[in-house]
Amino acid sequence: MRAAVLVLSAVLLVAGCSQDAERDDSGAVTAADDVSVEALRVGDCLETPADGVVTDLRAVPCAQPHDGEVFHAFDLPDSDFPGEDAVQTAGEQGCLDRFEPFVGAAYDDSELGLLPLTPVAEGWEAGDQGVLCIVQDEEGGLTATLRGAAR
């Protein structure tokens, strides 16, 4: 049974305070650590939160058990903050558009969940219009990418 889309909101932290994980030369996380949302990268494997507003997430090496992966990132159009609902809807749609090309199965047919990480008003006004798309397996225990998982 596929999980419902869960939209997370991100708070942009003060510039210069971002916490990143230890990474190798290719940019892959090499040790589990809490990472600020603005330091997350496509390909990062995560322990995903239940819901709500987050400022950081636990990133882990993809070979270690995890339940989520950042699979796409994009910016919403620069404008005045259009409201939380509009940002969440746009974030969800942008992530849904990239889900099937990444996973290899349509979202409606997939057992995997989708977690668009969208900016809140405070972050938007500080210049963050970025959305991170996270694919999630609620069972956890993943030890590899979900790219091409076709499930």
Residue 96 is assigned to a structural domain of this protein: yes
Residue 148 is assigned to a structural domain of this protein: no
Residue 147 is assigned to a structural domain of this protein: no
Give the confidence band of 55 by pLDDT, cuts at 50, 70, 90.
Answer: confident
Neighbours of 137 (CB within 10 A): 19
Which tens digits make up the pLDDT trace of 113-124? 999 999 999 989
Which pTM was predicted?
Answer: 0.86
Which tens digits make up the pLDDT trace of 63-113? 999 999 999 999 999 999 999 999 999 999 999 999 999 999 999 999 999
Residue 150 is assigned to a structural domain of this protein: no
Range of the domain at 87: 8-136
Q: Look at the chain and report how many structural domains it folds into.
A: 1
Determine how β-strand 52-54 pairs with β-strand 8-10.
parallel
Residue 25 is assigned to a structural domain of this protein: yes
Look up residue 132 and give its amino acid. Answer: L
pLDDT at 6: 54
Across the beta sheet with 52-54, what order do the strands follow? 33-36, 56-60, 45-47, 68-75, 130-136, 113-119, 8-10, 52-54
Residue 50, pLDDT above cutoff 90: no
